[in-house]
Amino acid sequence: MGYGRALLWFYGLFLVLAIDGGSVMGLSRCKFPAIYNFGDSNSDTGGISAAFLPVPPPNGETFFHKPSGRVCDGRLLIDFIAESLGLPSLSAYLDSIGTNFQHGANFATGGSTIQPQNLSLFTGGFSPFSLNVQLWQFSQFKMRTNELYQQGNTSIKCNLPKPEDFSKALYTLDIGQNDLAAGFQSMTNDQVLATIPNILDQFSQAIQQLYQLGARAFWIHNTGPIGCLPYSVIYYPLKPRNLDQNGCVKPQNEVAQEFNRQLKDRVSQLRGILPQAALTYVDVYSAKYGLITNAKKQGFVEPLKFCCGHHEDGGYHVDCGKKAVVNGTEVYGASCGNPSMYVSWDGVHYSHAANHWIANRILNGALSDPHLVITHACHRSPR
């Protein structure tokens, strides 16, 4: 066996052992009792729906068979993360009705950004619950939980985490896409690029604040190929030379790649600043772009098509689950009826089938730095 093949064989064995959940290179499986998630609609399990108007059908039709607060026909990456750790799906922090937070809470809301935006949800589509607000919410959640335990309130213990679980939990972050999307609306690509260091300054501060609040294990997603979202292609000025071989908006993807490069550098720097933190950087971009590149080979239709909603070249569109009157006729943004064939659910968000495919590529550690399966993400990267 040649050196190259032997190296590949060894790496494959490493991943197989990791997926089996046993000891990998002397590392034991982490016992995460809870997950605390921060992000946008890519990981929102009901926050924006609880705060404002509920997400309408046909969202949720594939897995939940009814709207579940997710802008998707089924589950999101965060749901597959929870499942892989043997935990229930996360409840949205903002959902106050019959909610159980024993195994964590989800602070993500659709439209959230790292940097607070001057536009409101109704004028620009951006959530008022930016990352700093999500951290305020988490801080209060932890403080109130500890107070109730100290008071000996036994009636709440079945719905809240144990105080000691906060330091043992996994902290997941999937946010930043909307910061770039907001920039594309009003700035040139070069101007958007110039904002990235300030955005990541605030992201780094958020990680350090969570660390000060007791967080130790972090699972950090980079941003996806924004230029491959069907709506990005639809609303981008017609410049064929700016489309790549897959029909994606190349300049927008280049900005996303630069964001990810700088994000990875920041995570590396944070490892030196936070000596007890285990920080895993996850290359979701590569997983998503890999699916888009090979969509048809993986059983999907053309990746720039989407299942739910209605769009015409004549200049109008109807969002998924909504109605509009066009030329005197009511048009409904309905489901295609077979979302498992589509990468994109509604032109912006990935389908349940696509999320499942992507989860299978990221949870085994193959696209992570360091290369650790998620069940081993409590272990610090060697320096």
For residue 249, pLDDT over 90 is answered with: yes
pLDDT of residue 7: 40
Percent helix / strand / coil, the chain, rounded to 5: 40, 10, 45
- Tally of domains within the chain: 1
User: Residue 70: inside a domain, yes or no?
Assistant: yes
CATH number at residue 160: 3.40.50.1110
pLDDT of residue 156: 78
**Alpha-helix residue ranges (DSSP H) falling in 40-76:** 47-51
Range of the domain at 77: 30-376
Q: Which residues are catalytic?
A: 41, 346, 349
pLDDT of residue 27: 85
User: Residue 147: inside a domain, yes or no?
Assistant: yes
* H or E, element range at 317: strand 316-318
User: Residue 20: inside a domain, yes or no?
Assistant: no
User: Residue 15: inside a domain, yes or no?
Assistant: no
For residue 369, pLDDT over 70 is answered with: yes
Q: Which amino acid is at 232?
A: S
Q: What percent of the chain has pLDDT over 90?
A: 80
Q: Nearest CA to 295 among 337, 253, 350, 232?
A: 350
User: Residue 13: inside a domain, yes or no?
Assistant: no
Q: Which amino acid is at 108?
A: A
Phi-psi category of residue 202: left, alpha or beta, with phi > 0 → left and psi -120 to 50 → alpha? alpha
Q: Are 257 and 346 in contact (CB under 8 A)?
A: no
Q: Nearest CA to 84 among 10, 11, 172, 177?
A: 172
User: Residue 235: inside a domain, yes or no?
Assistant: yes
pTM of the model: 0.92
Q: Are 263 and 207 in contact (CB under 8 A)?
A: no
* H or E, element range at 271: helix 250-273
Cα–Cα distance, 169 to 162 (Å, whole number)? 11
User: Residue 348: inside a domain, yes or no?
Assistant: yes
Q: Nearest CA to 351 among 129, 128, 75?
A: 75
User: Residue 344: inside a domain, yes or no?
Assistant: yes
Q: Which amino acid is at 284?
A: V
* pLDDT tens, position by position, 181-226: 999 988 999 999 999 999 999 999 999 999 999 999 999 999 999 9
Q: Are 249 and 242 in contact (CB under 8 A)?
A: yes
pLDDT of residue 317: 83
